[in-house]
A and B are shown apart, each in its own frame.
Chain A
C-alpha cells in the first residue's frame, strides 16, 4: 500500500503537513481527526506563552473530531473533514465564548454561529480554538487586546501585526493547520506579512459578514490565513458564497479556487504602483519585493509601472470612514442586552457611560470619539461625505491601473515586525503601518500577502498582490506559482 508519509504517521510531524496532505492522510485513515486535533491541542498548550489563543475548549474540539472521524468512516466526508481550524475570536460561535478581544465581551457566549463557522462545521472541520486579536479588530499590532498581546513566533520581542495577530502567530508557529481572519484596513494581510504566512482578503461581499462582529461595515471582510496559497484556496472554497443574512453579500457563483492554481503566469502583466516604492518604505523590504518581482519575470510575467495617485489620501480617508462606522456599530454595547455592565451606577445615563468607559480599551474609545465627532451635527459634510468622495477617487485609481495590468504588486507593510511598545504612544505612527493595505479595502478589491523573504534580523517580509473584483482565483494562482519555485512559505520559526 502506498503511504505518502512512510509506514508510520508520527504525531510529531503532523504539524508539518499541508491541508491537502492532511486531507489525504485523514481520508485514507492513516491518521484520525482525533489524533490530529490532539496533536495540535498539545502544541497550543506547549506554546501558551505566545498568547495566540483566547479560548481553547479541548473536550469540545475532541468531541467534534470524533464526529468527523465517524463521518470519514461513513464516506460522507469532503476535503477538509476532520481538519482543525483556528477561528479568529470575532466570529460568533454558539456555546463557546466570543470576546472580540474586549472586556466588553469577555464573558459573551453567542447564541448562534456566524455563517463562516456554520460553513466550516458543515464541511466537518474541527474548531480548534478562538484566536487573540486587537480589541474589536482595531489595531495593527495586537497590543490593544484585553487579553494581552500576542508574541511573534519569529521574535518574541516583536508584535505579530494586527488585528488578526493570534491567527497569524498560530499558523506561523504551526499551532493550527490554518485559521481565519478579518480585514478592515489590512488586518489579514499585515499580520500575515509580519509572521511569514499567506493571507487573503477577498473582495467585499465575497465572504458573509453574518455573525462576524462588526467594526466598519462597508470595509470588513473575512478571509483565510494559511501556510500556502493552495491551503488558502481550500479554505476559501468553504468560506465564500452568497448569504441572504448579510445585506451586502454578493450573489455571484463561487469557482473552485484550487482548479486554476497551476495555470501558467507567462504573459501576466504585473502593475507596480510607483507610489508604493517611495518615501517610508524600508530598504530591506524594498529589496525583497524587487527580488520577488525578478522571480515573476523568470516565470514569464511582465512588469509595468502604474500609478495610484491618490494613495496618500487612503489613510486620512480611512480614519474618517472606519471610526465613523465603528462609532455607530459599537453603540449597541450599552450594558443592557448582553456583554459587560458596570457594577455601580446611579441612573441609566451613568450605566451607559460607565459600562462603555470600563468595557472598552483606549484605542477603541479613541476611535469611537473620532467617529462620533465626524458624524456630529455640522461636521458630516466636512468629514464623512468628504471621505466618501475620496474613496471614489481611490477606487477610480485602481480601475485605471487595471487597464494596464492583471494584478498589482508591492509591499504589504512598510516595515517588518516592530517591537512591543514602539508605536503604542503614537496612534498616528501605528496607523501608518497599514499604508499599503488600506486603499484595497476602500476600493473593495481582493488583496493577498505571501511570504517573500526576511530582513537582516530574520523577520519575515510579505509581498502584496492586489486583484480586480472577484479575481481571487487569479491571486491564488499567481501566489501558488511563486510558492512552487520558492520556499519562503515553508520556513518555520526556530523552536516550532
Chain B
C-alpha cells in the first residue's frame, strides 16, 4: 500500500495535525515505507484465529459505584493553558 499526498492530508486531518504543503511528499514516502513493513503481516493466513487484546485475556474489572475522588478542579485547572472562573477557555465555536 502506497500513500499519496491526498491520503496524507486526509490522515493528518483525522489526527488533528497541521501538515505543511512542503511536508506532504516526505510524509507520503516515509509512511508508505512503514506500511510496506507492516504489510509483511499478509504473508500469514489468520483465518479463524481469535484476536488478542490482553496478554492474559483479562477483561475489564468492575468496581463498586462509590465516590473515590475529591473535587480538585482548582488544582487541575492551575496547569491549563487558559482557564477562567472554573472554565477551560477555547476559541469560540458557536456564532
Contact = CB atoms under 8 A, between A and B. Distances in A.
Q: Of residues A204, A373, A469, which shows the largest number of chain B Cβ atoms within 10 Å of its Cβ?
A: A373
A389 B81 contact: no
Given A336-B80, A336-B90, A369 B49 contact: no
A388 B52 contact: yes
A244 interface: yes
B80 A337 contact: yes
Contacts of B12: 353, 369
Q: Of residues A250, A317, A372, A383, which shows the largest number of chain B Cβ atoms within 10 Å of its Cβ?
A: A372
Contact of B50 (A218, A353, A389, A428): A389
B63 A244 contact: yes
A346 B92 CA distance: 10
Interface string B70-87: 001001101111100000
Nearest to B47: A389
Interface in B9-49: 11-12, 14-19, 27, 30-31, 33-44, 46, 49
Interface string A359-390: 01000011011101110100000010111111
A319 B31 contact: no
B56 A469 contact: yes
Contacts of B60: 247
Interface string A422-443: 0000011001000000000001
A336 B58 CA distance: 33
Q: Of residues B16, B36, B60, B63, which shows the largest number of chain A Cβ atoms within 10 Å of its Cβ?
A: B16
A248 interface: yes
Contacts of B15: 327, 356, 368-369, 372
Contact of B46 (A316, A353, A386): A386
A212 B79 CA distance: 18
A447 interface: no
B52 A427 contact: no
A353 B18 contact: yes
B43 to A, nearest CB: 8
Interface string A107-122: 0110100000000000
B61 A313 contact: no
B41 to A, nearest CB: 5
B58 to A, nearest CB: 7
A319 B34 contact: yes
Contacts of B52: 388-389, 391-392, 395
A227 B17 CA distance: 41
A354 interface: yes
Given A336-B90, A389-B51, A111 B79 contact: yes
Nearest to B82: A341
A387 B63 CA distance: 31
Nearest to B60: A247
Contacts of A354: 18
Contact of B38 (A244, A319, A334, A360): A319
B53 A427 contact: no
A421 B15 CA distance: 28
Nearest to B16: A352
Nearest to A370: B34
A248 B90 CA distance: 34
Q: Of residues B43, B81, B82, which shows the largest number of chain A Cβ atoms within 10 Å of its Cβ?
A: B81
B46 A389 contact: yes
Contacts of B16: 331, 334, 349, 352-353, 356
Contacts of A391: 51-52
Nearest to A335: B81
Contacts of A443: 55
A248 B58 contact: yes
A428 B53 CA distance: 25
A17 interface: no
A369 B53 contact: no
B89 to A, nearest CB: 9
A386 B41 contact: yes
A392 B51 contact: yes
A414 interface: no
B70 to A, nearest CB: 12
A345 interface: yes
The 4 closest A-B pairs by CB, nearest first: A444-B55, A388-B51, A341-B81, A389-B46
